[in-house]
C-alpha cells in the first residue's frame, strides 16, 4: 500500500509539473525541448546593445551571478534568454548559478526563501567577496544590459519592487 501511495504521488507530481524544472539546473536544460522552443527563440531575437555590453565586460570579471526563474513564467521565458545573450555578448565566462522555482516560488532546498525570492526572474549579482551587490527583479527598469551596467557601476539602482 505504501509503495502504491508513493507511486500515485509521483504520478500526480509528474502530471502537475511534468515539464517544469525545479531546483538547480544547467542552462543546457533550457536549450532542450520543450523549453528550447521559447529559450532559443528569445535568445536569438534579443539584440544586446554592443556599446553597453562592451562597458559591462570589465565590470563582470569579478562578479558571481545567481538566477532564480520559473520555466512556467512568461517573464522568465522572455528575460532569462535575453540575459544569457547579454552575458555571452559581454564575454562573461564564469558559471552562472541557475535555479528553477515552482509556481509558489519555492525550491526543494529552500534556497528561494533564503534569498528572499518573491518574483521571477530574479538576477542576483555578488562581488568577489560574495556580498550581494544588487538584483534585478522580474523585469528591468530600462533594458537588462542598461540595468546591469547601472548596478554594477555602483550607481543608485532600485529594482521594480524596491521602495
Q: In whole angstroms, how far apart are CA 136 and each of 90, 132, 133?
A: 18, 12, 11
Q: Is 32 exposed, middle or buried (0-12, 13-18, 19+ CB in 10 A)?
A: exposed
Q: What is the pLDDT along the chain (163 residues), one digit of tens a residue?
A: 555 434 333 333 433 344 689 999 999 999 999 999 999 999 999 999 999 999 999 999 999 999 999 999 999 999 999 999 999 999 999 999 999 999 999 999 999 999 999 999 999 999 999 999 999 999 999 999 999 999 999 999 999 998 7
Q: What is the pLDDT of residue 10?
A: 38
Domain boundaries, the chain: 19-152
Torsional class of 91: left (φ above 0), alpha (ψ -120 to 50), beta (otherwise): left
- CATH homologous superfamily of 19-152 equals Glutaredoxin (3.40.30.10)
Q: What is the pLDDT of residue 163?
A: 79
Going edge to edge, which strands form the sheet with 122-126? 23-25, 97-100, 64-69, 122-126, 132-137
What is the chain's length? Answer: 163
Contact 162, 132 (CB under 8 A): no
Query: Cell numbers 509521483 correspond to what residue?
Result: 10
Q: What is the pLDDT of residue 20?
A: 86
Q: What is the pLDDT of residue 3?
A: 54
**In 29-120, which ranges are E strands?**
64-69, 97-100
Amino acid at each position: 500500500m505504501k509503495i502504491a501511495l508513493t507511486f500515485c504521488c509521483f504520478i500526480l507530481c509528474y502530471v502537475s509539473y511534468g515539464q517544469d524544472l525545479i531546483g538547480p539546473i544547467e542552462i543546457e536544460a533550457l536549450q532542450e525541448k520543450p523549453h528550447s522552443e521559447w529559450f532559443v527563440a528569445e535568445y536569438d531575437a534579443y539584440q544586446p546593445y554592443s556599446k553597453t555590453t562592451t562597458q559591462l565586460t570589465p565590470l563582470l570579471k569579478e562578479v558571481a551571478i545567481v538566477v532564480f526563474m520559473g520555466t512556467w513564467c512568461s517573464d522568465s521565458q522572455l528575460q532569462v534568454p535575453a540575459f544569457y545573450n547579454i552575458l555571452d555578448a559581454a564575454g562573461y565566462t564564469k558559471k552562472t548559478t541557475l535555479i528553477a522555482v515552482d509556481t509558489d516560488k519555492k525550491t526543494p532546498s529552500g534556497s528561494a526563501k533564503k534569498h528572499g525570492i518573491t518574483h521571477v526572474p530574479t538576477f542576483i549579482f555578488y562581488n568577489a567577496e560574495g556580498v550581494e551587490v544588487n538584483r534585478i527583479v522580474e523585469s528591468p527598469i530600462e533594458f537588462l544590459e542598461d540595468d546591469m551596467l547601472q548596478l554594477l557601476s555602483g550607481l543608485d539602482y532600485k529594482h521594480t519592487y524596491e521602495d
